[in-house]
């Protein structure tokens, strides 16, 4: 399979669609990462971030069951944890404030997501 570019890296997945969360988990596992979550709802994501569990990077779906995930994004920014947005909406709906955050449009290209996280973690 792919190279284990994320060996030992703890990656939080926030994604409400089970199958997509599963797929991402598998891809990240294959790249050597330890998956944190996945979380399907904002409150689960927030409590995972606050729980003190090791998180090196995160993958956040902008929309969770009709709820926006920006609260989780803000918490990660506070804690200086790098993350990537995924979205099924037009990326232009993402507020100006998060312009520097890398964004992957759905359906996500697993290799691209993995390498985007890899870049975040290494920088």
Partner 1 sequence: MREHGVIALVNVPIFLPGRVAYGVLQVDATRPRDFDDEDIAFLRTYAMVLGPVIDRFNKARDLAHTTERYRLIVQNARDYAIFLTDAEDRITDWLPGAEAVFGWSEPEALGQPAAIIFTPEDRRAGVPEEETELARRDGKAPNVRWHVRKDGQRVFIDGQTTALRRADGVVTGFMKIGQDVSERKKAEEATRGSEERLRLALESGHLATWDWDLASGKIEWSEEHFRLQGYEVGEVEPSYEAWLDRVHCEDRAEVLKALGNARDHGAAYRVEFRSPHPDGTVVWCSALGRFFYDEQGQATRMIGVMQDVSERRRWEAQQEVLVAELQHRTRNLMGVVRSVADKTIRTSADLTDFRERFSDRIDALARVQGLLSRLGDQERVAFDQLLDTELSAMNAHGKSIGLHGPRNVRLRSSTVQTLAMALHELATNAVKYGALGQADGALTISWRIELPASRGEPWLHIDWSETGVAMRADERPQGGGQGRELIERALPYQLGAKTTYALTPEGVHCTIALPVSASNQDGERTNVRADA
Residues 24-53 that bind partner 1 (CB under 8 A): 38, 40-41
Residue of 89, 95, 111, 122 interacting with partner 1 (CB under 8 A) = 89
Name the residue nearer to partner 1 (CB basis): 47 or 122: 47
Listed residue (84, 83, 87, 72) closest to 17, CA to CA: 87
Indicate whether 93 belongs to the interface with partner 1 (CB under 8 A).
Answer: yes
Indicate whether 56 belongs to the interface with partner 1 (CB under 8 A).
Answer: no
Residues 94-123 that bind partner 1 (CB under 8 A): 105-108
Q: With CB under 8 A, what is the number of residues at the site for partner 1?
A: 23
| Shortest Cβ 116–partner 1 spacing (Å) | 17
Q: DSSP letters along the chain, please?
A: ----TTTT-EEEEE-S-HHHHHHHHHHHHHTTPEEEEEE-SHHHHHHHHHTT---SEEEEESEETTEE-HHHHHHHHHTT--EEEEESS-GGGS-GGGTTS-EEESSP-HHHHHHHHHHHHH-
Binding region for partner 1 (CB under 8 A): 16-23, 38, 40-41, 63, 65-66, 87-90, 93, 105-108
């Amino acid at each position: 399979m792919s190279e284990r570019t994320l060996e030992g890296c703890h990656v939080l997945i926030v994604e409400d669609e089970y199958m997509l969360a599963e797929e991402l988990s598998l891809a990240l596992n294959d790249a050597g990462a330890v998956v944190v979550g996945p979380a399907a709802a904002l409150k689960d994501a927030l409590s995972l971030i606050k729980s003190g569990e090791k998180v090196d990077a995160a993958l956040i779906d902008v929309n969770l069951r009709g709820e926006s995930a920006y609260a989780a994004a803000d918490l990660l920014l506070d804690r200086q944890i790098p993350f990537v947005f995924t979205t099924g909406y037009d990326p232009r709906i993402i507020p100006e404030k998060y312009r520097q955050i890398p964004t992957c449009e759905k359906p996500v290209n697993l290799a691209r997501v993995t390498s985007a996280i890899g870049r975040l973690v290494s920088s």
